[in-house]
Every structure is written in structure tokens, then in C-alpha cells.
A = this chain, B = another copy of it.
């Protein structure tokens, strides 16, 4: 590093080598050089080799701007994220980043959390002309938004969920809910509470699992809360306020479940002796807190979604396939048969 006091400031960029230089050195026309470097079909092998050599020697790096301007792809993918700071989305992003990087695509992040942000994105479409594809992370896209997305003229892939007509990669949320519920039912619980975050597939799994077990789902046992630990804590408090509280609770996700457990501890109740709790995700803290849960491969969902985008951009994606990755019950210490002594 220079001792220059101004060294933190930007210096002058290095001299640029253009395709023209490469073409000249290889003794071909600019157009041929372009074709040779791109994976174009009709180029003599020898020519191609010569051009590549020249490019190599000159340490040539193409200008993405110029390429794009002339009609090529941008080499960029927009990623729509509602909550970047949540573990789930962070994992999704890590997986995506890895796959996109491997495909030589840059990841441009757009946060679309609240309604204003959504509106800001879909109305203004700041991604216009800036990306080749859009990856939507676990957010529902309504018809109007879908229409806007379509007007972008880019490929769309969904990760961590499933949205109408787009290719997607996610888990079977209903199935995951069933795994959790069936586990509780197997243990012998009949009065099972639900702490939902949305009226989603996991919530509906609660109903159908109960119904299938010949138990009438009671509305008072289902409560919907804001996402997160605090929400979970509040939901559990509500359930404890019931004349007859449940003997087990299925929480929307691990963080919500952890919140529920806090409420139980504060109320002097033991988990799982007095009440069983199960979540979904297999968040790192679930292992740490010995939380029984239904694990889902989050990073993998991101990775696959990234691969799907890459394939779509190559034109290799024929059908809007919806990939469903497996979930699995992880037995730990927060569930046991009802009224189990110790």
C-alpha cells in the first residue's frame, strides 16, 4: 500500500485493452474476434485459437457494458428479498450466490419487505434494463406484480416457496407441517396448539393432520402471530390463557418455537414434560437449544434456484418445473408423550 495520504481515494483506472486490440494482434476483424471469444459456432478452430491466444496475451477483459449495450445479456440477476437479516433468507442468499457465481452471474439485491418497498420495486421496476433474470425469495407475487415482472422481459425463478406459473424450488410446506403434526400425534397428543405466522400451508397441515386423526380442529387452539421470537412468545401466552391449554404446540418455525418456549419457562412450565414444542427449519439455534424440528435444506434451495436461473438464461430450461426438496423430522428434546413423567 502506498504511503500516500490520499491512498484511500480512488486512483486512475488502468488502461483498457479493447477487442479491437485483440483482433489486430490476431490478424482478424473485430467481428471475427467477437465471434471467436463468444461461443459462436461458425468460426475456424485455428482462428479461434489464435484470437484466444491474443486475448490471453493482452490480458483482455470484455466490457460488460458495451456487450450489453450491443444486445448481449447483462450477466446480472436481481434477487428480491423480504428480510435479509433473517437466517432463512441469509441461507437462501448464500446458496444463490454460490450458484450464480459459478455461472458467472452477479447478484443484485433488492429488498421488498413492506408494502411500500414492494410498491417501490414493482411500480418503478428499478431492475429494468439491469438484469437478465429475477429470483423471488419466498414472497407471494400477486397478479398485478406478475404482470409487471413480465413486462421486464426477464426470466423469473422462485426460491423458498412456490408462486403460480414460475419455475421454483422449495419444500412441501404442507408435508413439513404433517411431519411435525404426525410426530406429535404419534406421541399421543390430542390437544395440539398452532402458532402460525400466516394462513399458509403449514397452518393448513395442522387442520388436516388433526382431522385425519379424527380430532376436530378447535379454532381457539390456532393463533396467528407476527414472525419471530416475540411473536412466538405472545402466541404461547395466548394458548396458555385458554381454559384448557394444549399439551403440545406446533410452531411455524424454530424462532417462533423458541419464543414459545421462553413463555413456557417463564410460566414455570417444563418442556417437554408439561408441554411439547416443535418447529420447522432446523435453525442453528435449534440444535443448540435441543429443539425438535422439521429440517429443511435452505441453502440448497438457494443453490438450486441459482442453477435454474443459469439454465433458463442458457435456454436450457424447457418446462417451468417446480422442484421440491425433502424435509426431515429431527428428534430432539422438546417433545415427549403428553403428561410424561420426567
In the bound complex, residues from chain B placing their C-beta under 8 Å from that of A76 are 108
Contact-residue bracket for chain A: 35 or more
- Residues of B near A38 (CB, < 8 A) are none
Please give, as numbers and ranges, the residues of chain B lying within 8 Å of A285 by CB-CB distance.
Answer: 229, 255, 258, 285
Chain B residues near A62 (CB, 8 Å)?
128
Residues of A179-229 whose CB lies within 8 A of B: 228-229
Q: Is the CB of A8 within 8 A of B166?
A: yes
Distance of A123 from chain B, by nearest CB (Å): 8
Note all chain B residues with C-beta closer than 8 A to A108: 76, 106-109
Q: A127-B61, A151-B13 are in contact. Are A165 and B1 (CB under 8 A)?
A: yes
CA distance A209 to B62 in the complex (A): 53
- Assuming the contacts A12-B153, A101-B120, asked whether A69 and B59 have C-beta atoms less than 8 A apart, the reply is no
Complex Cα distance, B17 from A89, in Å, reads 34
Nearest to A266 among chain B residues (CB) is: B290
A84 within 8 A of B: yes
**A320 at interface (Cβ–Cβ under 8 A)?**
yes
Q: Knowing A91-B85, A101-B120, A153-B13 touch, does A69 contact B65 (C-beta < 8 A)?
A: yes
Kindly supply a per-residue 1/0 record for chain A positions 271-293, scoring 1 wherever the CB is within 8 Å of any chain B CB and 0 otherwise: 00000000000001101111000
B8 contacts A156, CB within 8 Å? yes
Q: In the complex, which of the residues B127, B230, B287 contacts A229, with contact meaning CB atoms closer than 8 Å?
A: B287
Residues on B with C-beta less than 8 A from A139 are: none
Interface contact A97-B125, CB-CB below 8 Å:
no
Q: Find chain B residues with CB under 8 A from A66 CB.
A: 65, 69
Interchain Cβ contacts under 8 Å between A and B, 30 examples? A7-B150, A8-B166, A8-B167, A9-B155, A10-B150, A10-B152, A11-B150, A14-B153, A16-B127, A16-B129, A17-B127, A59-B124, A64-B65, A66-B69, A83-B90, A83-B94, A84-B90, A85-B87, A85-B299, A97-B110, A106-B108, A108-B109, A228-B284, A229-B284, A230-B287, A230-B288, A233-B288, A258-B288, A259-B288, A262-B289
Say whether B1 contacts A146, CB under 8 Å: yes
Contact of A74 with B by CB under 8 A? yes
A63 to B9 Cα, complex, angstroms? 27
Query: CA separation between A66 and B229, bound complex, in Å?
Result: 47
Q: Do the beta carbons of A85 and B93 come within 8 Å of each other?
A: yes
A143: CB under 8 A from chain B? yes
Q: Which residues of B contact A107 (CB under 8 A)?
A: 108-110
Q: Which one of A9, A85, A98, A255 has the greatest number of beta carbons of chain B within 10 Å?
A: A85
A57 to B108, CA, bound (A): 26
Query: B61 and A69: CB pair below 8 A?
Result: no
Asked if A154 is an interface residue, CB under 8 A from chain B, the answer is yes
Query: Taking A16-B127, A284-B229 as contacts, is the C-beta distance between A155 and B1 under 8 angstroms?
Result: no
Taking the closest CB of chain B, its distance from the CB of A165, in whole angstroms, is 4
Per-position 1/0 for A253-264, Cβ under 8 A of B: 001001100100
The residue in chain B whose Cβ has the minimal distance to the Cβ of A131 is: B106
| B residues near A85, Cβ cutoff 8 Å | 87, 90-91, 93-94, 299
Q: Is residue A331 contacting chain B, with contact meaning CB distance below 8 A? A: no
Q: How far is the CB of A252 from chain B (nearest CB, A)?
A: 15
A98-B111, A106-B130, A230-B284 provided; 14 other pairs, C-beta below 8 A? A8-B166, A8-B167, A10-B155, A11-B150, A11-B151, A63-B69, A63-B129, A65-B74, A79-B109, A85-B90, A107-B110, A229-B284, A229-B287, A262-B290
